[in-house]
A and B are shown apart, each in its own frame.
Chain A
Amino acid sequence: MFRRLPDKTAAGVVNFTIDGVRHVGRRGDTVAAVLLLSGARATRVSAVTAEPRAPYCMIGVCFECLVTVDGVGNRQGCLIAVANGMRIETQKTRREVGA
């Protein structure tokens, strides 16, 4: 559904994984952007209703893009730049306190 627009400035390449699968992005991409670009649909489930959710506002306001980054849960994917070796995991179960 999403595709990368042609970019005049050539940014460096970044390697990371989404749910254990290797992906390549560009330096400066956010976690939410690379998730959408990877074709991911639901990237988490609601903590209360277990409803599937996905990145929405992309500016840090709506908290819809919460994912696990390098083992830390419920991080705002739209506010984090991808880095080499980063492990991004979608949240398939409800976020639990103490988990």
Chain B
Amino acid sequence: MAAATKSEYDCAVVGGGLLGASIAWGLAKLGQRVVIVDEGDTAIRASRGNFALIWVQSKGLGMPEYAAWTVKSSNAWAGFAGQLRDQTGLDVCFERPGGFHLALSEAELEARASQMNRLHNQPTVVDTGTVMLERTEIAKMLPHIGPDVVGGSYCPIDGHVNSLRLFRALHTGLAQLGATYLPNHAVTDIRHENGVYQLVTANREIHAAKVILAAGNANMHLAPLVGLYAPMLPERGQIIVTERVQPFLKYPVVTVRQTDEGTVMIGDSREERTTPDGMTTPINAVMANRAVRMFPILGSLNVVRSWAAIRVMTQDGFPIYNQSTSHPGAFVTCCHSGVTLAANHALTIAPMIAAGALDEHALAAFSAGRFTRRPDVSQVA
């Protein structure tokens, strides 16, 4: 019987995107024997389509704890990037110059100011330092803004990163720490016998003492296998990428940012779609038009790529972190902001999982119990 209860791994992380890789890296750093069980290259791979912002200013309206959680990660990011660099030699190009949300009309500016007010007027909300700025003040920091920019909001702890390098650094770091990465191992079932989780895939079964679900929108189907709940509502977003040019944009704007490699990324769309297939020209045209109104000089740039991707989104947009009561050692993690929250996932969530339990007090707001307590969400088993 001893052989049957012995696990190959301490932790099996289901999902190898930014969320799964961040948690797995944090676990491996603590000496846990980790396996990452991932789908293949034909999977939707939502975290590959991200915009790479580390974004604070708009987070937490309706859930002040989410604002505090985001600030915590923003503050931990420099140390996290440093740890990745020290271990792997890879620079993820983390920068935190502060970031802007620009308004292109008085109505947009009023809506933004009202949203920021409602966010900051919540009792117990953390101060993010976000301020509303007039056009003239913005022009001092962003000299290329066009005449349509009437004002905006600025948050000094917003930033961005090279998310492709982040992904590479995490997986390089995982390999160096001896973690096992298994692509093409879509999990079809999870069983729990004699204190061991058995992850069923088409190739083989994987055995681990703990299982951490970080499979993005697929968590919706996997969570019930271990007595957890993950109501997801995927969204589709589109991104336009320009040719590389000499750095000119010092601060990221929520919909326009210049990467460390010189390209300008434009992303300003949101649709309720569940497949990434097919760009839509009208949406691209609106995105490009708004970007050019913000920064008219963008109009002379060549577009080199555009793509559509799926956003991982819970039904209320806030993260879910839960451990199972019926299945000890099973955890579910869902979030939209896999880049922003990467530092928390690696440095806060992973140590809790390694120690065996989430801090129920610190993470109470992020329990999926909030959905079943709400009258407009149907009860689930």
Pair A96/B304 contact, Cβ less than 8 Å: no
B244 touches A98 (CB 8 A): no
Main secondary structure on chain A at its contact with chain B? loop
Give chain A residues whose Cβ lies under 8 Å from the Cβ of B297: 97-98
User: Which residues of A are found within 8 Å of B260, using beta-carbon distances?
Assistant: 48
Q: Is B302 a contact partner of A97 (Cβ separation < 8 A)?
A: no
Q: Assess whether A63 is in contact with B304, with CB atoms less than 8 Å apart.
A: yes
Task: Specify which chain B residues have a CB less than 8 angstroms from the CB of A66 in the assembled complex.
Answer: 243
Taking the closest CB of chain B, its distance from the CB of A96, in whole angstroms, is: 5
In the complex, are the beta carbons of A47 and B301 less than 8 A apart? Answer: no
Q: Which residues of A contact B245 (CB under 8 A)?
A: 47, 74, 94-97
Q: Which residues of A contact B301 (CB under 8 A)?
A: 97
Contact of A97 with B246 at beta-carbon distance under 8 Å, contacts A47-B262, A48-B261 already known: yes
Question: In the complex the two chains form, what is the Cα distance from A61 to B178 in whole Å?
Answer: 34
Chain A residues closer than 8 Å to B304, beta-carbon distance: 63
The reply to whether A94 and B243 contact each other, CB–CB distance below 8 Å, is no
Give the CA-CA distance A48 to B243 in the complex, in Å.
Answer: 12
Which chain B residues lie closer than 8 Å to A74 at the CB level? 243-245, 302
Question: Are B243 and A96 interface neighbours, CB within 8 A?
Answer: no
| B247 at the A interface (CB under 8 A) | yes
- Interface set of B (CB-CB < 8 Å, partner A): 144, 243-248, 260-262, 264, 297-298, 300-302, 304
A to B CB contacts below 8 Å, 22 in the list = A46-B262, A47-B245, A48-B246, A48-B247, A48-B260, A48-B261, A48-B262, A63-B243, A74-B243, A74-B302, A75-B302, A94-B245, A95-B243, A95-B244, A95-B262, A96-B246, A97-B144, A97-B245, A97-B246, A97-B300, A98-B144, A98-B300
